[in-house]
A and B are shown apart, each in its own frame.
Chain A
């Protein structure tokens, strides 16, 4: 079975190729089901790999499947090979499982789009690239997937490449921004790979991790980890490179769910967990990662509180939740980072797709200030969204509750201050999640016309969501406290947990988390449903901060003024002044001098001026050279 692992990648690749070349002959449902079917087939292969690994004793669950030699120059060797281990198989299950559901949903969501065929080709290509990312057995292969998903993301954000609106500007520009910001991160990964090869002579994960502890100084390891951190902040939308993700919501909603919430953006967390050996050798980089994660979580959650666009709330929520994951892997809780990655994939995909149903039912409207009372019009979507919000808020016993608490527990062992930040963010999370439930779905309709035309979505757009909803509820069993299945399962790939809390600590923090989640939900209830006076006054007290938060702390503006505009000004000066004026100007000066000399010579010889000038020049030089060296 394990020998057939390459089928995992072959299915979505085949789907993309078939739909590219033959899609124009197929009907829309055929195209959609081919695309979904290939991803579902990959999911089956992933299940097979899971069973295959489970049949082996723990220490043998790391298998390399070589495919071909990719690049060989001298001592440099980069193979094309798959690494089948608990971590990669877990990621493959999430990618193909959640991916297949979203593909099915998209058949309904995109049905009326004129570029339906192209959409599914891109979606299949994305799954293919993402599987390369998580299955490669070496850094360079991971880099292929890393940039491949970037291309898919670029194409899908700018899918409606001719559209523009006030929120995003031209959608195509949002796609371009995503690709370029990610390239800044990729710069880090490319350099990290160069350092790794120069220091250790290999780019294969297993070789590197085996050799690193003995032959990598902590300085070099820290440098590598910092570069990898840069890469992670790009792909996983952390400070300072998170700015592309909110704009990425210009893409169709299934894309937001699949790529910009459930899978691609988690690549950074996967990568850190995968390279954990390097982070353990460079602990200061890991510590920085933890703080970046914590601060990103806090900052993004605060922005999510004031957004009025349903998808943007979810986008900032995604940044914030990714912050938790980065914080988790930063403090060495790799298994919990992956655990939260999985539960987040369930509930955030659910939330996005439910938001897609809202958007679908309201003809593209996403401003929550215009909604209200939607639960009567869209009861199923409401229930689905509520389940997602409960999981996101960390409502006790929902999947998100366990995974977030696991991270917070480990952060507590690392730094109580960072824990406090994480806990406060959890409070904000509960508030904004339920603001997104109460404002659109409860109360009275705010826009009568919009409300009258609102409708529930067809079954193809609700049934896949029930699967996600169930997973969002029960996903916590993957790693029940005191049973620790996921942690133990991932051990061969990410090592043993470094932090062993006492039972008392574990239980008390669990209780604190539960109280905080409930308090946050109540806060949202008091403010947005009951409109109780103190809740309003609390918000008014924070009023002075509101413009700052609404403008997302002016980070986009800062980058534009500090980096983009100066670079463009420099480029313009180069292109319009320096290159034609100074460089080419000097060339012309030399040319004119030669021509002037030629004018005088022409009186002696009639002929082609430059030729004569040159032959004389050559003659003189030959003479000089001969005299010097002869």
Chain B
């Protein structure tokens, strides 16, 4: 048996209103996340991949309770946090933090680095005095590869990679057990991406943090994750170990996604599967298998019957009739 998971998500759904009538009632709802279930163990990295609009960001935000779930349950260390409110939620938030894609947009330009990181300590009353606060912030900066000479500087004085390090230091300030990383390296230059990926791995090794690592870059996700979930139109269509999902993908969507990644090795002449069309609208998702309109191998029953996740091999699940 596995140890009790750090995070257990059961049938989680997230809805967004689409268009409003005159009196402010939603005209229709878009189901961004549709009955998603998964577990995350302590000091594990779970990768979440999918195209834009598949619901991966909404899922990440729902888990740290930045958006309200429409249904389902989120359990953190065995306790149901789905309904947590106010002070209870605030103290829970110490356990889970989030890092965003845009290191430019997520730091207050008018605060010094000391205050940006110190604010997190203040909110959770983790610093006993201003000198303690300063030394904690300085230690955090050191942990992410910056130093105390940066304390009094402002965000605009830093490069993109350094700003992402500041974002990571702020998340670390409250000593979280889980960090949701939402496209943490996709805004960074290629030469700087590797620094931040290595930093995240070192921090995990030293502190036993778990990551939900959301990204569209499959190579980065395969590199950093132990397990990967592939999402399409709000649903998980495949999940398994990183090497299985990327090495022997079971779902035609995962296969297409992998074959679409431009690779450098000239000798590996893979058969490319070019998907036709775009991701359909989540407002009116296709019936049957949500992927069938773009699927190169779809059959008659795929149009009417939605496949559920099946365990193809131990711990490798695929939602496809034909897998």
A and B associate in one complex: no
Give the A-binding residues of B (Cβ under 8 A): none
